[in-house]
Amino acid sequence: MLLQDVLLLDSSMEKAQPCDLVLSGPVIDSILPPRSSSLPAEFDGKGSVAVLPGFVNAHSHAAMTLLRGLGEEAPLMEWLQEKIWPVEARLRPEHVYWGTMLALLEMLSGGITCFADMYFFMDQAAEAARQSGMRCALCRGLVGSDEKKLEEGVALVRRFHEPLGMIHVQLGPHAIYTVPPEAFREISMTARDLGVGIHTHWLETEWEAGYIREELGKDPVDLLFEVGLSEVPHAILAHGVWFPEDRLEPLAGGNMAVAHNPNSNLKLGSGIAPVPSFLEKGIRVALGTDGAASNNRLDIWDEMRTCCLLHKGFRRNPCTVRAAEVLRMATLDGARALGFEDVGLLKPGWQADLALVNLDKPHYVGATPENLCASLVYSGSSADVEGTLAGGKWLFRKGRYETLDERAIIHQARICRKELLEG
């Protein structure tokens, strides 16, 4: 398949590269000078379409699209205990299926090709992901020290985990304040033995940091190692807002990645993660949206822009958290965090997970190959995405979904929401 006369940009490039991009099945075959390929063009960018690696949403609870708008502007624990958990107690498998589908519509339209998801009834999420053609890393959220839930998590691994395929499964201890340390360690050791990753929440709130120090009597960085998170193939630490900045060295260069969710952290008043320090210390940072009940968008463009602006303003330093760094977080480092080794760069042999961006718009006048990365991050938005491909297949093209029935999904999601709210 030939994508003709497009501008390639990934986080390893200093500037965008005009080219013909040739795909072969699920992977990138070759990158040729523009209009030099003799293949028939499947798509002609006419020099004004950027091709980026598909975006990776490294922390989400996809089916929470059904809970969007519940309990706005409430403190986190009150929001969870009074608004979210009572509704979640009524969830049935079909709710998770349609809620996930609703999330996939939104993510695909913004160029997201891969997502990490923690929730319940994850066989339903896996089915939705498979039908959509998206890449993902799924886990059943585990709370308490319930062996039966861990068995469900393991069963999900056995049923859906494809190390070289589109679906990865991880184990998902919800957080250290909902899973006792001994049970957490058992989950990590199970993941290690299965050869799968861990996805958890870590240090989202100041309250949680206090709980770790006062109730558990631990240092929050030492505790990561005590519960076995350094021993699994890869671990996603969602949020990481309250990491002590003088204790970051042990996290660098290893298997752990922080999934930074700037909009959720701002909306829930959780605080501002020390992202400039993570980057200085060489800690892998990915970007996530969190669930639609706490954001409320599933839009990585919005996270990229907020991430760049927030840390510049907070540190009073316009040079920190640069556009090129945030593009890497949203693509390559997200894919690595989810355990995908050949996703996130535009290179021959790498997976053809792509976001196509229409640059023929007013806000891109003045964009050049040299400044394209900053143009996209600061001037662009998800509304500019004109195509999304994963594994070499079109999933979204010019406003239409190739694998999903948009009208049917919205209709079913409305029914599910009504059922959940009315009990």
Q: How far apart are CA 402 and CA 141, in angstroms?
A: 30
The minimum distance between CB 6 and Ni ion, in angstroms, equals: 35
Residues 45-64 that bind Ni ion (CB under 5 A): none
Residue nearest Ni ion, CB atom distance: 290
Query: How many chain residues touch Ni ion (CB under 5 A)?
Result: 1
In the three-class reduction of DSSP (H, G, I as helix; E, B as strand; rest coil), residue 143 is classed as coil
Write out the DSSP string of 180-191.
-HHHHHHHHHHH
Q: Which is nearer to Ni ion, 169 or 268 (CB)?
A: 268
Torsion on CA atoms 330, 74, 409, 60, rounded to nearest 10: 30
Q: How far apart are CA 318 and CA 365, in angstroms?
A: 23
Q: How far apart are CA 247 and CA 219, in angstroms?
A: 9
Q: How far apart are CA 368 and CA 296, in angstroms?
A: 32
Q: Which amino acid is at 358?
A: N
CA distances from 414 to 93, 400, 420 (A): 15, 20, 10
The minimum distance between CB 185 and Ni ion, in angstroms, equals: 21
Beta-carbon-side half-sphere exposure of residue 143 (alpha carbons within 13 Å): 6
The minimum distance between CB 57 and Ni ion, in angstroms, equals: 12
What is the x/- site pattern for Ni ion, positions 221-240, by CB under 5 A? --------------------
Residues 277-306 that bind Ni ion (CB under 5 A): 290
By the rule CB under 5 A, 208 interacts with Ni ion: no
Contact 359, 385 (CB under 8 A): no
The minimum distance between CB 291 and Ni ion, in angstroms, equals: 6
Q: Which is nearer to Ni ion, 186 or 204 (CB)?
A: 204
Residues 241-270 that bind Ni ion (CB under 5 A): none
The minimum distance between CB 288 and Ni ion, in angstroms, equals: 8
The minimum distance between CB 262 and Ni ion, in angstroms, equals: 13
Q: Which is nearer to Ni ion, 290 or 299 (CB)?
A: 290
Q: Which residues bind Ni ion (CB under 5 A)?
A: 290
